[in-house]
């Protein structure tokens, strides 16, 4: 059973991220800072959940760890992510990174600085350094961090299936990871690291591992949930629960403290785990709607949309300006950028599949 309804939640998360980066038009709509950042955390947890679910339950045969196969898996991820990552990076560094000006005026100091940043980005290691951690293209940090999580996925799954013998062990490991993540946030709260903690790959490993645990725990009961008559007959009840959950997620994320970045990774975890847990059951009308092909397609292209949306916004601002005189104009500006991003993302996604 593939959890199609969860795919559309990816797109909802992307919607809040593009709203965050369109703040010139959306600043007064809702707390875009919180909802955008909470959505990024959702991506990390959901990616881990999918990895754990695809692996099967903890009782399925243990995976073998072969360095050659591990390398092939990492290479396949790079082939999927890197071409678009590289293109957006080069466009950004030429038009916004100061490279063209540095070349015109032979500013070798600036060329050296840009080259150093470029090399970090090329090897996707910018998030490991406490300066320029957002990279040349601001959202490229996510690709750097998620690649680290993809790299550690196989060793983590191998060790979990080797050391954890049953679902109770997985649950204990889940709780332990949750506690350790909260302790990490608490013990680093007074360090002057600000956004670096937000992008530093090991900082986000807890969210990814929690997702893996949830996927491993869900797999053994997924067939029971799929075939259970009680769950099928209470679709109205589950629709109400789904509506309550998604509204609660929005309200909780919207009200989280704005400036206490050191705690925010911990703040986001519980709402996102609750959202995934509710929708992985998939028995309400909302889940059925999210499982429709157009919704699933939007979820499938959310990564492509994420990678290009900032270029679309910046290009539109250069062409049309960022100022708007009315709420209606703001909505039109935002929807135009969203629509163009979706169309380009869909085209890129289809080309990748071809």
In angstroms, the Cα distances linking 285 to 7, 12, 291 are 15, 17, 10
DSSP for 87-108, written as a single string: HHHHHHHHHTSSHHHHHHTT-H
What does the domain layout of the chain look like in residue ranges? 4-353
Run of H or E residues at 321: none
Supply 256's token pair.
Answer: 């989280």
Q: What is the pLDDT at residue 38?
A: 86
Q: How far is CA 183 from the centre of its chain?
A: 23
In angstroms, the Cα distances linking 247 to 75, 241, 243, 324 are 39, 10, 6, 29
Q: What is the pLDDT at residue 65?
A: 77
Phi, psi of 165 (to 5 degrees): -95, -20
CA-CA-CA-CA torsion for 326, 328, 333, 339, nearest 10 degrees? 170
Q: What is the pTM of this model?
A: 0.90
The ranges of the chain with pLDDT < 50 are: 1
Q: What is the pLDDT at residue 135?
A: 76
**68: how many CB neighbours lie within 10 A of its CB?**
7
What's the mean pLDDT when you consider all of the chain? 85
User: CA-to-CA distance for 133 and 274, rounded, in angstroms?
Assistant: 30
Q: What is the pLDDT at residue 307?
A: 93
DSSP label at residue 278? H
């Amino acid at each position: 059973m593939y959890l199609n309804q969860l795919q559309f939640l990816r797109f909802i998360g992307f919607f809040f991220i593009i709203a965050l980066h369109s703040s010139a038009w959306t600043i007064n709509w809702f707390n875009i800072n919180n909802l955008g950042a909470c959505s990024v955390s959702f991506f990390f947890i959901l990616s881990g959940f999918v990895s754990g679910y695809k692996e099967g339950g903890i009782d399925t045969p243990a995976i073998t760890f072969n360095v050659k196969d591990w390398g092939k898996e990492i290479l396949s991820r790079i082939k999927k992510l890197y071409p678009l990552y590289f293109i957006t990076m080069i466009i950004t560094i030429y038009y916004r990174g100061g490279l063209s000006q540095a070349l015109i005026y032979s500013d070798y100091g600036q060329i050296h600085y840009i080259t150093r940043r470029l090399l970090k980005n090329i090897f996707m290691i910018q998030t490991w350094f406490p300066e320029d951690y957002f990279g040349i293209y601001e959202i490229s940090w996510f690709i750097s961090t998620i690649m680290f999580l993809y790299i550690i996925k196989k060793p983590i799954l191998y060790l979990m299936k080797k050391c954890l013998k049953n679902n109770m062990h997985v649950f204990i490991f889940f709780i332990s990871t949750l506690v350790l993540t909260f302790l990490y946030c608490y013990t680093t709260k007074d360090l002057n690291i600000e956004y670096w903690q937000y992008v530093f790959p090991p900082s986000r490993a807890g969210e990814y591992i929690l997702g893996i645990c949830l996927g491993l725990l869900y797999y053994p009961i997924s067939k029971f949930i799929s075939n259970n008559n009680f769950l099928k007959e209470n679709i109205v009840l589950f629709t109400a629960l789904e509506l309550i959950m998604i509204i609660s997620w929005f309200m909780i994320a919207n009200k989280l403290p704005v400036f206490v970045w050191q705690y925010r990774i911990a703040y986001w975890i519980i709402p996102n785990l609750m959202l995934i847990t509710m929708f992985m059951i998939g028995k309400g009308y909302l889940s059925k709607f999210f499982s429709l092909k157009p919704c699933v397609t939007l979820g499938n292209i959310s990564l492509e949309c994420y990678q290009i949306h900032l270029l679309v916004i910046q290009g539109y601002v250069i062409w049309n300006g960022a100022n708007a005189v009315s709420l209606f104009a703001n909505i039109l500006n935002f929807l135009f950028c969203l629509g163009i991003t979706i169309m380009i993302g869909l085209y890129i996604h289809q080309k990748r599949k071809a």
